[in-house]
């Protein structure tokens, strides 16, 4: 066969084919690289074959699409000597740009994988909105000059050595009519492949890591862009609503039937009646960025990273078996503020129409407190200003600090010590005005690039361990300083993480990576002891209010860990599109297309499909089905005016 003649007739060969091949090759190398260097390698040969084969299908489909511009130009470019030379110049430029783009995307995936242990997902889509913070974080975390220099060298080397092979065919080109048939075949194949390809293909193995490696970052990004919000009732496992209500009400065993509010839209709306008079104590809730329980000596860490918190744990009501509801700050804020299960898609903090909700702050407002949200970064990030401001909190962020008040700052926010100094100032003002306060603080220092002021601790900047130890030091400085203020003796201090530092594992929801600390410290008011009851962040609000003897009409999905929680020990958590329910050594994972899996948390293998598994699936479904329905239908909305007049909404 005369291959040179065939190339001349088709003319768009070899460029579109080469684009396709290089796209597949780079993505395959990336997939193997992520496997070898960024995760455990305890896969079977069959698992490796699966993620390579399924990954090839994604890469081939996306490669057909990204090569279409080269295909169309080659198809339509007119024949002729001058136009042939111009076409070769265009091809060289286009090829160099394509190589640069492919390598840049691969590098971006490595960075994203290092941060989240996943291919691009809806977090990457969200980050398009906050380009200032994201780009700033990358600039402060990585040596971009060296990285981009290396990327440029690799791109030029790749383009140079491949160009002789990739040059368009010499000689007389085929007619436009002759080029039309193969071009249309390519386009039809590309359209057909995109219609057939399915995001579920990568989920063909029980090990979630296999699915992540099988995915293609570009495809996952586009899929997440289209599916950033997920309708639970349409895509997830459901049961009859009457049964869901019955199951969820059963979770609150100590609540009598008469306590549930009659004819309330939300079936679990209930009257919480305290056993004694309310304790009008101030509350300072410190939500610590990425404070995994595994960092603390209290939970077995031998690196001595949290000396102050370890001592504080001995003086506090310490919850040793608490789990985060998600892997991002907004999930933690959602759970602590709303006591709401982490429904699929975006956190409520980032969704539209999320104002005037029933929150922990509103219960404090009903009791005459001023709810505050104090953040070391800019509150527009992740929609924090809008969410907390729209739900009755006074929002105080980085803009409240003057330049001379800042000892260190990076793209995410000021150093934790600066946040705490700001907090002392704001709380002193409320004390002087005779106000009770509920202050919810959010730290930032334990976040990449892990920077903090010099000469504070004995570990360097730029590493997670140093940031953890610095945050521990800053919290210690804050509480010790607070002891000198008039409001200290009448204040409850809470330390809890927003989420853990890592989220990858064999299952979509590796529970060991969701374990976080919770300690409640109030000398003279709350007796120090250890509570080993299994619970999650959604249980914090009702537990705190119970300790304060507050009576209120509740729409919280969480339960008081010290009462109901003892009899119904469970934790709820989510990761991207998978929502979960952990109880009795088994983990339920609910996923799109109505899938429900139950894992044994000891072995990591699928649990038997017995009565216990079916019961847990029903319980998990009840929580998420009702929570999703409640937000969508506005059943979590309240009249703030009525609440602050002391009239709980019925």
Model confidence over 117-168: pLDDT tens digits? 677 766 666 665 555 555 665 666 667 677 777 777 877 777 766 666 655 4
Q: Can you read off the two tokens belonging to residue 160?
A: 């140079």
Percentage of the chain lying above the pLDDT 90 cut: 49
pLDDT computed for residue 644 by the predictor: 47
Instruction: Identify the band that residue 1 occupies on the pLDDT scale cut at 50, 70 and 90.
Output: very low
pLDDT computed for residue 560 by the predictor: 95
Q: What value does the mean pLDDT of the chain take? A: 85
Count of alpha carbons within 13 angstroms of residue 111, beta-carbon side: 19
Instruction: Round to whole Å and give the CA distance between 207 and 60.
Output: 24
Residue of 534, 618, 517, 599 lying closest to 572 (CA atoms): 534
Instruction: Tell me phi and psi for residue 536, to 5 degrees.
Output: -140, 180
pLDDT computed for residue 172 by the predictor: 36
Bridge partners, residue 580, by sequence: 573, 589
Instruction: Identify the band that residue 368 occupies on the pLDDT scale cut at 50, 70 and 90.
Output: very high
pLDDT computed for residue 146 by the predictor: 76
Domains belonging to the chain, first-starting first, are 3-226 (no CATH), 234-644 (3.40.720.10)
pLDDT computed for residue 83 by the predictor: 58
pLDDT computed for residue 545 by the predictor: 98
User: How far is the first Cα of the chain from the last one, in angstroms, to the nearest whole number?
Assistant: 83
Percentage of the chain lying above the pLDDT 70 cut: 85
Instruction: Round to whole Å and give the CA distance between 291 and 516.
Output: 7
Express each pLDDT in 516-541 by its tens digit.
Answer: 999 999 999 999 999 999 999 999 99
pLDDT computed for residue 323 by the predictor: 97
Instruction: Give Cα 456 to chain centroid, integer Å.
Output: 30
Is the backbone peptide bond immediately before 449 cis, with ω within 30 degrees of 0? Answer: yes
Instruction: Identify the band that residue 39 occupies on the pLDDT scale cut at 50, 70 and 90.
Output: low
pLDDT computed for residue 6 by the predictor: 45
Is 48 a residue whose pLDDT tops 50? yes
Instruction: Round to whole Å and give the CA distance between 26 and 517.
Output: 41
Instruction: Tell which wins on pLDDT, 37 or 445.
Output: 445
pLDDT computed for residue 10 by the predictor: 44
Instruction: Round to whole Å and give the CA distance between 482 and 485.
Output: 5
Averaged pLDDT for residues 498-504: 76
Instruction: Identify the band that residue 8 occupies on the pLDDT scale cut at 50, 70 and 90.
Output: very low
Instruction: Round to whole Å and give the CA distance between 150 and 143.
Output: 11
- pTM (2 decimals)? 0.75
With a CB cutoff of 8 Å and minimum separation 6, the contacts of 294 are 300, 301, 500, 515
pLDDT computed for residue 258 by the predictor: 79
Express each pLDDT in 171-225 by its tens digit.
Answer: 334 667 767 777 888 889 988 988 888 877 877 776 767 878 888 877 877 766 6
Express each pLDDT in 586-636 by its tens digit.
Answer: 999 998 778 899 999 988 889 999 999 999 999 999 999 999 999 988 999
Instruction: Tell which wins on pLDDT, 534 or 506.
Output: 534
Instruction: Tell which wins on pLDDT, 85 or 394.
Output: 394
Strand ranges (E), 122-266: none
Is 2 a residue whose pLDDT tops 80? no
């Amino acid at each position: 066969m005369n291959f040179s003649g065939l190339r001349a007739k088709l003319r768009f060969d070899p460029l579109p084919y080469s684009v396709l091949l290089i796209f597949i090759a780079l993505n395959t190398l990336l997939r193997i690289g992520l496997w070898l260097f960024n995760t455990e390698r305890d896969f079977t040969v069959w698992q490796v074959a699966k993620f390579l084969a399924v990954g090839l299908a994604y890469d081939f489909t996306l490669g057909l699409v990204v090569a279409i511009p080269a295909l169309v130009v080659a198809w339509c470019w007119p024949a002729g000597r001058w136009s042939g030379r111009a076409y070769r110049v265009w091809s060289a430029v286009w090829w160099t740009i394509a190589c640069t783009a492919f390598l840049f995307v691969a590098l971006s995936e490595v960075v994203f994988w290092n941060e989240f242990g996943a291919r691009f997902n809806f977090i990457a889509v969200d980050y398009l909105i906050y380009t200032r913070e994201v780009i700033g974080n990358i600039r402060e975390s990585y040596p971009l000059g060296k990285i981009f220099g290396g990327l440029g060298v690799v791109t030029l080397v790749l383009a140079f050595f491949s160009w002789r092979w990739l040059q368009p065919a010499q000689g007389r080109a085929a007619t436009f009519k002759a080029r039309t048939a193969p071009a249309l075949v390519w386009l039809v194949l590309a359209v057909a492949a995109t219609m057939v390809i399915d995001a579920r293909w990568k989920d063909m193995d029980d090990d979630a890591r296999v699915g992540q490696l099988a995915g293609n970052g570009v495809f996952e990004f586009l899929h997440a862009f289209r599916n950033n919000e997920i309708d639970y009732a349409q895509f997830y496992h459901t049961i009859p609503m009457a049964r869901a209500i019955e199951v969820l009400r059963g979770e609150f065993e100590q609540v009598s039937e008469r306590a549930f509010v009659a004819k309330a839209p939300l079936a679990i709306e209930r009257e919480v009646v305290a056993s004694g008079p309310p304790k009008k104590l101030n509350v300072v809730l410190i939500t610590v960025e990425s404070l995994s329980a595994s960092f603390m000596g209290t939970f077995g860490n031998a690196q001595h990273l949290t000396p102050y918190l370890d001592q504080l744990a001995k003086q506090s009501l310490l919850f040793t078996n608490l789990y985060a509801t998600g892997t991002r700050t907004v999930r933690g804020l959602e759970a602590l503020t709303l006591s709401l299960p982490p429904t699929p898609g975006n956190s409520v903090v980032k969704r539209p129409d999320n104002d005037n909700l029933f929150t922990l702050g509103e219960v404090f407002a009903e009791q005459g407190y001023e709810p505050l949200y104090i953040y070391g970064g800019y509150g527009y990030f992740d929609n924090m200003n809008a969410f907390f401001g729209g739900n009755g909190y006074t929002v105080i962020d980085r803009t409240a600090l003057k330049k001379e008040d800042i000892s260190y700052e990076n793209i995410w926010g000021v150093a934790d010590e600066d946040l705490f100094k700001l907090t002392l100032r704001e709380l002193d003002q409320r004390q002087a005005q005779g106000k009770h306060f509920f202050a919810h603080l959010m730290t930032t220092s334990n976040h990449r690039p892990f920077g903090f002021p010099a000469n504070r601790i004995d570990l360097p900047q730029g590493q997670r361990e140093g940031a953890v130890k610095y945050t521990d030091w800053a919290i210690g400085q804050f509480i010790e300083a607070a002891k000198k203020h008039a409001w200290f003796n009448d204040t409850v201090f809470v330390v809890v993480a927003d989420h853990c530092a890592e989220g990858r594992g064999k299952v979509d929801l590796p529970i060991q990576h969701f374990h976080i600390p919770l300690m409640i410290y109030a000398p003279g008011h709350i007796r120090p002891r250890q509570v080993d009851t299994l619970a999650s962040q959604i249980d914090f609000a009702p537990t705190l209010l119970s300790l304060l003897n507050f009576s209120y009409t509740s729409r919280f999905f969480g339960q008081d860990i010290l009462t109901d929680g003892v009899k119904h020990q469970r934790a709820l958590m989510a990761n991207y599109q998978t929502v979960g329910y952990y109880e009795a050594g088994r983990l339920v994972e609910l996923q799109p297309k109505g899938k429900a899996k139950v894992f044994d948390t000891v072995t990591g293998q699928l649990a038997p499909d017995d009565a216990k598994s079916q019961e847990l699936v029903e319980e998990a479904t009840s929580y998420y089905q009702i929570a999703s329905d409640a937000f969508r239908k506005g059943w979590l909305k309240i009249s703030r005016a009525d609440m602050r007049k002391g009239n709980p909404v019925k």
